[in-house]
Each structure stands twice: as structure tokens, then as C-alpha cells.
Amino acid sequence: MKFESSRAKAIEKLNEFIEKNLSEYSKLRNFDFGPKKRSNVSCLSPHITHGIISEQEIIKKSLSKFSFSKNEKFIQEILWRTYWKGWLELRPNVWSDYLVELNKVKSEFKNNQNYLAAIDGKTSIECFNSWIDELKENNYLHNHTRMWFASIWIFTLELPWQLGAELFMKHLYDGDAASNTLGWRWVAGVQTQGKHYLASEWNIKKFTNNRFNNIKLNENAPPKISEKIYSIIKQNFNNPQNIEDKNLLIFENNLSFETSDFQNNKFKKIFLVSNKNENRSIKLNKKVVKFKSLLISDQEQRLKNNSIDCELIDMSEIKNIDGQTIGLYPTIGENLDYLNSNNIKLDFLYRKLDQCSWQYCNKGFFNFKNYIPKIISTFI
Ligand SMILES: Cc1cc2nc3c(=O)[nH]c(=O)nc-3n(C[C@H](O)[C@H](O)[C@H](O)COP(=O)(O)OP(=O)(O)OC[C@H]3O[C@@H](n4cnc5c(N)ncnc54)[C@H](O)[C@@H]3O)c2cc1C
């Protein structure tokens, strides 16, 4: 598997997927045929996470090929990401509590034999070991495999979900605070209280095309329990007025300014901000750091090609910027944490898609789904 670090390549991948594979997506998407045979899913998440291509672009392109009803499953999946993001924005303490809990279990489990065997891919479960290798080698796992992996981690290896979520964030090219934390919480049974995801031998065999044997799992474990209840904290996602002639900060989640809602606004200068491992609670693997930095350079090059004044800076240099500065909203995660913990107060610009979608993230995805036609009608 190869994840190329440019918008041009991401667009090529999107076009090819839509032309050749989208028609079979809903039928085949749950199969993990192995890393050499991934054409049944889009593999676009590393690019979408970094805003190299947007959800709107993908949905629009898919609808130029097939009708909404033929495309419904794919569009729903694309908007799961947007939903998880909004869900977390309305309950920011889920992320901050996760980091606190992670710190605690990290010291408790640092010498735990199950944990050490799991992260080295040396358990007695062949498929799990193979997925660990794949995660480290390709920095990507299929969605169904992420579900099996998390379930085995939590219910068969009996490890805390927080440590598994950390491992994913370290290695995934698409590592995202919302999709990852909430995906793990969902498998554990603390996202939808009392409902967990239990991987089973027959399901893994069927959807991996019988690639694995000896899958002895705990298929009867009860869901994990959390006493914490997170009420919605009302947020304001309105954009400030008079944004022009200010400096604009772009973080690692919005790396396609020239197709963004703000492409026609005139900013004084654009700063592309990268965030070092020293400033992250979860230290990223070298390949992930490199991938991010190549994506940021690709955005720099595209801005320069459009004669837009821009500069690459590190997070720690934001304080030194002269003049009024605003930022494209980095969303809950390590970048926003850095700004908050360093008392850097900025006005943020929110994407229209997020402003429109996040108001429907107060309940479950089932409810959110009803609003999908309304959401997409705002940009189609
Ligand atoms: C435990 C766990 C952890 C996860 N961690 C992450 C993560 O850190 N970052 C991340 O981007 N996704 C995460 N996911 C969601 C999902 O697994 C990936 O987005 C998907 O596998 C990406 O592959 P794809 O682009 O080929 O997906 P496709 O099947 O082609 O789907 C198209 C797009 O829809 C979105 N999407 C699909 N399924 C989901 C989903 N379940 N949740 C949210 N968005 C979805 C993604 O943007 C994806 O690129 C996680 C899921 C689980 C169960």
C-alpha cells in the first residue's frame, strides 16, 4: 500500500475509486482482502483527515457519477467522520479525560506482559499479530479490521482501550482525535452505553476471505462500564466578521486552502503551522511525522504556485507573528490543546460543512443520518 503525500495524487485516487469501485462499495466494503487488495474501499482517510481533499469534493464527485440512492452508503461513511467530529466538539471533556486516563494506564501497564506482547505482535492470535505488522508497515488498517483489532485488544487481551487508541494514533496516517477516540469508545461499549462490539471467529474468517486460522477469542465478554456521563456543552461556531487583511494560520487538518470556503478572501499572509512531537501528548511514529510534513510542504507549494504569500512555521512561533491573526479551526485534538495550554487566543474560521452538520451531532448517528440530504443540499 502506498499513501502519496500530494493533493494531485489524492485526486487521482479519488477519481479512480469513483470510476472503478464505487459501484460495488456497499456490497464489498466490509471485506478486508489484505493490504495488496484494497480497491473495495477508497483508502482516502489519510488525505481527508488532513483536509487535502474535502468531504464536499468527494460527495459532489460521487454524485456526478451515481444518484444519491445508489451512493447513500458511501456518503454516510464520509459523513461519519463529520459526525464524530461534531459529537466531540459538543463534549470536549471526552478528549481531555481520555488524555488523563491514558496517562494513568500508561504507567500502570508499562510492564504488563499482555500489553508488551500485543504491541510487538507476539500474541497467540495470528490475525492480531499480522494486523500489528500491517499497522506499523502501512500506517493504515481497514475499518472492519480496526473494529476486530480494538475488540480483541479490549475483550480478549483485556487491555485498556485508551492504550489501544494511543497505539492507533501513533501509527495511523489518518490518526484523528474524534474518529479514533470515539471509535475505540464505541467498540468498548462506553460510547453507546452498554452496547459493545464483539469480534467473532466466523465473522473474521468470512470477511478476511479465510486468510487466518486459530482465532480463539472471548466472544462473550460484557461491555466496559464508565460512570462518566458527558452532557452537551453549547458552543458557538460562528465566524468572525472582517477577516480580510489579517494573517491566517492553517493547521494540519485543513491543507487545501485553494478549495476552501475562504479561498476568495484576501489574507495578509498565510502561515502553515506544524506541531512537533514534543508538544503532543501522543508521540507520533517517524513515518507519520514525515507524512504530515510532506503534506504541509505540498500545500505550501500549491499556495506559492498561486502567488499567495505563505510561510511554514512551528506551533511555538505563533506568538511571534506580527499583526492580527486568525486561524482555520484546528478541531479538538493536539493542536487546539497546544493553543489553549499556551494561552494563545485566536478567532477561528469554521467550515460551512461543520457549521451546518455539527448542530445535528447532539444525538446518535441514527438521528444524524436523517439530516444528510439537508446537509448535502447546502453544497450540491
Ligand atoms: C477503533 C477505530 C479507530 C478508528 N480511527 C480512525 C482514525 O484515527 N482516523 C480516521 O480517519 N478514521 C478512523 N476510524 C474510522 C475508519 O476505520 C477509517 O476512517 C476508514 O477505515 C478509512 O479507510 P477508507 O478511507 O478506505 O474508508 P472508506 O470505507 O473508503 O470510507 C470513506 C471515508 O469515510 C470515512 N469513514 C468511513 N468509516 C468511518 C468511520 N467508522 N468513522 C469515521 N469515518 C469513517 C473516512 O473519512 C473514510 O476515508 C476508526 C475506526 C475504528 C473502529
Give residue ranges with CB within 6 A of ligand 1.
29, 41-45, 48-49, 77-78, 80-81, 84, 142-143, 146-147, 150, 168, 172, 174-176, 179-180, 183-184, 187
CA dihedral in degrees (32, 24, 66, 56; nearest 10)?
0
Instruction: Read off the amino acid at residue 272.
Output: L
**367-378: per-residue pLDDT in tens?**
999 999 999 999
Q: Could you give the residue range(s) of every CATH 1.25.40.80 domain in the chain?
A: 7-89+358-376
* Contact present, 239 and 262 (Cβ < 8 Å): no
Atom number in ligand 1 closest to CA 41: 30
What distance in angstroms lies between residue 95's CA and the mean position of ligand 1's atoms?
18
Residue showing cell 500489553:
115
Q: Could you give the residue range(s) of every CATH 1.10.579.10 domain in the chain?
A: 111-207
Quick one: cell of 351? 467550515
pLDDT on residue 214: 86
DSSP state of 330: -
pLDDT band of 273, cuts 50, 70, 90: very high
What distance in angstroms lies between residue 183's CA and the mean position of ligand 1's atoms?
9
What distance in angstroms lies between residue 25's CA and the mean position of ligand 1's atoms?
14
Please state, in angstroms and rounded to a whole number, the distance separating the CA atoms of residues 115 and 198.
Answer: 19
* Contact present, 50 and 253 (Cβ < 8 Å): yes
Q: What is the pTM of this model?
A: 0.98
Please state, in angstroms and rounded to a whole number, the distance separating the CA atoms of residues 21 and 259.
Answer: 25
**193-251: per-residue pLDDT in tens?**
999 999 999 999 999 999 999 899 999 999 999 999 999 999 999 999 999 999 999 99
| 7-89+358-376 is a CATH 2.102.10.10 domain | no
What distance in angstroms lies between residue 340's CA and the mean position of ligand 1's atoms?
27
Closest-CA residue to 7 (of 61, 62, 44, 34): 44
**9-55: per-residue pLDDT in tens?**
999 999 999 999 999 999 999 999 999 999 999 999 999 999 999 99
Give the closest residue (by CA) to ligand 1 atom 35. Answer: 78
Residue to probe by mutation, ligand 1, list 24, 28, 81, most atoms within 8 Å of CB: 81
CATH superfamily, region 247-349: HUPs (3.40.50.620)
Average pLDDT over residues 67-91: 97
Query: What is the CATH number that goes with domain 111-207?
Result: 1.10.579.10
**230-244: per-residue pLDDT in tens?**
999 999 999 999 999
Decide if pLDDT at 1 tops 90.
Answer: no
Q: Strand pairing partners for 181?
A: none
Instruction: Read off the amino acid at residue 97.
Output: D
Mean pLDDT of all residues in the chain?
Answer: 97
Please state, in angstroms and rounded to a whole number, the distance separating the CA atoms of residues 120 and 117.
Answer: 5
* Contact present, 272 and 296 (Cβ < 8 Å): yes
